[in-house]
Amino acid sequence: MRAVLRDALPFAVLAAAPVAATLAGADWLVPVFTRMAVFALAAMALDFILGVGGMVSLGHAAFFALGGYVVGIGSHHAYDGSPTPFFGLPGWNDLLISLPLAFVVGAVIALPFGWVSLRTRGAYFIMITLALAQMVYYGLVGLTSYGGDDGISMWWGHNTLAGFETADRIVLHFLCLALLVVAFVVLKRLRAAPFGRVLDGARQNEARMRALGYRPLAYQVGAFAVSGGIVAVAGALMANVDEFVSPGMGHWTISGELLVIVILGGIGSLSGAVWGAVVLLGLEEGLREITEHWPIILGPLLVVIVLFARGGIAGLVARLGKGGGRAGSP
């Protein structure tokens, strides 16, 4: 029960924060908390393959951008009424289409990415994922029909949800938070299932798993595809938060930021990805208000947190919870 409460705590923070900000008259903070939820979703998907499968990817920004462009392109064509490159279909402006399509596009692209990358290990795997993501990035830059390097400004507004408007900041925030909770439950169950146990076994000793009759590569590629699909959904949500899509969503720095969030929150802890997003984006926003040179302060702060919070923020919260339990016992 205590572990369940610890897992629920960061979600409760993200649920309460925008409501408190609105009541305090600080509505401008609501999109900040929504960005936390979106980045937590993407980081959680990365943590699944990193913490369970041992796959350190620097290419997940590609799926983030692809999810954004699914929304941007579909919404653009829905507005002007012209058919899209997606098999000549008419445009779409509903999240019931955008989100599943973003997942499918992200997962389908992640399949060959994973298959190629997993032919290598270690630093080579990291570099190949980075190289493949940069290919996507420059491919998006070349989409001159959709703004090229300038991207797509969704000045016509957010996607709808089954015909209902999502322009209200609180509504959009809780939609993102709901999807974050769903992803957490699915990934946690997947990690505990035989699929997750095979992944974990392959991370520890791949040769032994082969000797037991398993095909680790198939499980690893499958996990990479699921992760890519979820990150693409996060990108689709971010397009609605910012009302803007650009190749910058696929830049390698986004992959680096997701990796920092995972490490900060605690590798292998899905709820830690939520803590990592809350702390990192919260520090960025707070320090940005203090000085324009905020990265100089943020860097040492992150080093201190990683050095003294063994197991990341999730590990620190778990130790504090255990300590509180002992102190309160008779």
Map out the domains of the chain with their CATH numbers: 2-328 (1.10.3470)
Predicted confidence at residue 66, as pLDDT, reads 96
Q: Is the pLDDT of residue 232 over 90?
A: yes
Mean pLDDT for 12-35 is 92
Q: How far is CA 72 from CA 69, 76, 112, 157, in A?
A: 5, 6, 24, 11
Mean pLDDT of the chain: 88
Predicted confidence at residue 90, as pLDDT, reads 80
User: If we measure between CA atoms, which residue out of 194, 181, 204 comes closest to residue 274?
Assistant: 181
AA identity, residue 162? A
Mean pLDDT for 80-95 is 79
Predicted confidence at residue 13, as pLDDT, reads 93
User: If we measure between CA atoms, which residue out of 191, 287, 265, 328 comes closest to residue 9?
Assistant: 265
Predicted confidence at residue 205, as pLDDT, reads 87
Q: Is the pLDDT of residue 330 over 60?
A: no
User: If we measure between CA atoms, which residue out of 16, 9, 38 comes closest to residue 257?
Assistant: 38
Mean pLDDT for 124-135 is 93
Q: Is the pLDDT of residue 321 over 80?
A: no
Q: Rounded to two decimals, what is the model's pTM? A: 0.92
Given pLDDT bands bounded at 50, 70 and 90, which one contains residue 1? low
Q: Is the pLDDT of residue 249 over 90?
A: yes
Q: Rounded CA gap, 308 and 2, in Å?
A: 23
Cα 108–chain centre separation = 17
For the stretch 159-214, pLDDT in tens is: 888 777 777 889 899 999 999 999 999 999 999 999 999 999 998 888 888 888 88
Q: What percent of the chain has pLDDT over 70?
A: 97
Among the residue ranges 113-122, 145-154, 164-173, 200-209, the one predicted with the least confidence is: 164-173
Tokens of 311: 């197991």
